[in-house]
Structure formats: structure tokens, C-alpha cells
Amino acid sequence: MASFKALKGQGDAKTLFAAFLYFDFSFMVWTMLGPLATEISESLAVHGFIISASQKATLLSIPILSGALLRILLGFGVDKFGPKKTALMAQAVVISVLFYAFFRAESITYNELLVVATGLGFAGASFAVALPQAGQWYPPKLQGIVLGIAGAGNIGVVIDFMFAPKIAEIWGWQAVFLVGGLLSTLIFITYLFLAKDAPKEVYTPRPKKLKDYGKLLKDKDTWWFNLFYAVSFGGFVGFAGYMKVYLMNTYQADMSSFGMHVFNEPNVKVIAGYFGALTIFAGAVLRPVGGAIADKMGGVKSLYIFFGVVILLAVLNAVIILPFWVAITVLFLIMANLGMANGAVFQLVPQRFGKDIGIMTGIIGAAGGLGGTALIKTLGWSKGAFDGYSAGFMIFAAVVLVAIMGISLVKTRWRTTWGVAAGGRI
């Protein structure tokens, strides 16, 4: 794509790579409870604590909720102290939490796990640092592809689902926290040497005060972007966090049979991790593609397409009992379109709020995390109330429809006001 070629000679490639790497591994540890949910539940059961469907959903949603709220804090830090200092502070907290979980694993309680989950939110909040750090180096016409590349760090969740269940099978689930802590330390050192904040001649930071947040929150466009990202990223991270639980509860027999005959793998939890990774991979790797498509045809038109496909597939999954392979394909396509929608949303955000990109990334990123929290809780509620997920998928489809209606309401105003001088296609 021409957009990728256009990056040559622009910005700072090392910083873009460092931002991607930082977000990639941060996203990996942020969502690591998802692929370990079954193993942790079984471990707690041995010690006499049985986790209900609601409690499991709560445990999986806490890092998402914490990450959502902390994105606002780190967004403020980006504008006040710069992306690099903010990132190093957040990474230090995450590393501490991972090693704590490892050393306490043998006797850890459910309440302690909730505290660990809260600390992992600092990893999810990396979104509010990595994207501004990358975007500050590049011109408006390249924001879609640049922020798509930096945001593609969410492929870290694929690493979780590929390797966490197998590591847990061989060495125990606590070993996953050890590996996460060691890798995060390595990334901390790499980021320390590679990443640079944009110089003043490229980007002049404007430190924000709390009243600046209030001013931006009064802007109706802030809330429209919050809605769109709560749907796109919230859908992606919500399904990603709950994917293994969903597959285990819905297609355990199919996965067990497939694992034995194809991989000679008797552990269905490992097979569930592989299929979860497959579906999540689509959304992670296609985020920059979505940004590039939005650069070409405009973010508004792109969102119409991506959200429309998601609605159709979510309703299909809700109303029909799909065969295993069809269901996997549908989930793959849902995640692919949500990932591309993430890139499309952030093709528009820097054009509308370029001078406030740090703080706006935090606010909008928080909305995405809140959307993911709501989706996980909705799926958990659906399972507990109806012993299935049809209601959860239908509610999600309805919310996506609301987002499409919102796009229809704002597109003309956007294109005739700030979009005129934005520098990119709207």
C-alpha cells in the first residue's frame, strides 16, 4: 500500500518500533488472565473457592476496567511529563505486579487476584502512551497508518492464547506470570534505549490542566468518538478477554475431538487457546490495514463497512446454532472487522483533536476499555441467566447499530467543518 511506502523518510522509525513493542507486550500481560481463566479457577477450587460465572467475568473484566480508567491518568502524564517517562513508570508497576503474582501463586486468594488484575490495568493503559508517542512524529496524512502500526501491538493477546495455556500445562499457571515479568523487564530495557519523545520543532506539547479535560468532555465530538471506540476496541478486547471461556463453554467437545485427531493434543484448554489466538489474530494484525483503508476512502465510510459486517455476523451467531468451524470463521471475521474499525477510528481522532491527541487518546481509550468491560460482563450475565450467549451477542449487535446511526448523524457536519482543513480524508 502506498501509505506504508509513504512512511519512508518520515518521523522516527525506532520510536515507532519501540511504541509498537511496548504496546504489544503490555497488551500481552494486560489480557493474560483470559487464557488462564480455566486454570486459575481450577487452582482456586482445589483450595475450596469455587468461582461462579459472574465472578469469573468480574476477574476478567477488572484489568479492562482498570486499564480504561488509567488511560485517562496516563494520557495526562503524556502531556505533562512526556510519553517516555510516563511509559517507564507504568511498565515498572506492571513488572512489580507480575512478579508479585508469581511468588504468591501457591496461596493466592481470589481477592488478591482482583488486586493483581487492577495492577495489570497499567499495561492496558499503555495505549494512551504508545499511540501519541508514535503519532507526534508524523504528519496528519499518515496518522491512520502510523497509529494503526503502533496500535497493532494488540497482537500481544494472540501471544497469550498461543503460549499461556501450554506453559500453564507444563509448569503451572504461575509460570506464565514469571515469563511475563521477565519479558516485560526485557522490553523495559529495550524501550529505554530506542524510544524518543518528538522534538519541539516536530511537536510542541501543551501540558494540560484538569479544566482542559472538562473542556474536551464538553465537546460533543469527544462523546461520539467515545461511542465508536467503545464499540470497536471494546468489542475487540471484550471478546479477546472472554474468548477462551466462550469456546470452552460452547465448543469443548468439538475442540477436544479436533485436538486429539489433528494435534494429538489431549488438553482441550490448550486447543481453546489456539483457536482463540486464531480469531484474535485477525483483529490485531488488521488494525493498521483498517487505518490504511481509512486513509484511502475516509474514516466515516470505512466505519460504515466494518460496523455493518459486525452487526450481520453477531446476529447470525446469536440466532443460529452454528457448527464449530462455521462459528470459528464467524468469530474470526467479527474480530477482523473490529480490528480494522479500531484503525479507522484513530484515523479520524488526530485530525479532529490533533493538538490534544495525548489527552484525547486517554479519554477515548478509556471509553474503549469501558466498552470491553461491559461486553465481558454482558457475556457473563448471558451465560448465567440463560445458559448461553445469544442474548449477549444480540445486545452487542444492537449497540453497534447505535454506533452506525451515530455516524450518520455526524458525517455531514464533520466533513463540512473541521474535516475541510484536517489534512486527511474524513
What single-letter amino acid sits at 88? L
Note the pLDDT tens digit of each residue in 262-309: 666 678 888 888 899 999 999 888 888 898 899 889 899 999 999 999
Q: Are 379 and 389 in contact (CB under 8 A)?
A: yes
Instruction: Count Cβ atoms below 10 Å from residue 395 Cβ, excluding itself.
Output: 17
| CB burial string 138-161: b at 16+ within 10 A, e below | beebbbbbbbbbbbbbbbbbbbbb
Q: pTM for the whole thing?
A: 0.84
Note the pLDDT tens digit of each residue in 312-338: 999 999 999 899 999 999 999 999 999
Note the pLDDT tens digit of each residue in 150-195: 766 667 788 888 899 889 989 999 999 999 999 999 999 999 999 8
Residue count of the chain, please give it.
426
Angle, nearest 10°, between helix axes 127-135 and 13-30? Answer: 170
Q: What confidence score (pLDDT) does residue 15 get?
A: 85
* Helix (H/G/I), strand (E/B), else coil: 11: coil
Share of the chain above pLDDT 70, in %: 91
Q: Which residues contact residue 8 at a Cβ distance below 8 angstroms, ignoring those fewer than 6 apart?
A: none
Sign of CA dihedral 22, 331, 329, 53: positive
| CB burial string 312-336: b at 16+ within 10 A, e below | ebbbbbbeeebebeebbebbbbbbb
Distance CA 111, CA 383 (A): 23
Distance CA 83, CA 400 (A): 32
In this structure, what C-alpha cell is assigned to residue 197? 519523545
Residue whose C-alpha cell is 484489568: 63
Note the pLDDT tens digit of each residue in 67-89: 988 988 887 788 788 889 999 99
pLDDT tops 50 at residue 51? yes
> At the fourth CATH level, which superfamily is domain 2-198+211-420?
MFS general substrate transporter like domains (1.20.1250.20)
What single-letter amino acid sits at 407? I
CA atoms within 13 A of residue 242's CA, in its CB half-sphere: 35
Average pLDDT score, the chain? 87
DSSP state of 105: G
Distance CA 234, CA 369 (A): 6
Note the pLDDT tens digit of each residue in 192-220: 999 888 777 666 666 667 777 788 889 99
Q: What confidence score (pLDDT) does residue 2 get?
A: 44
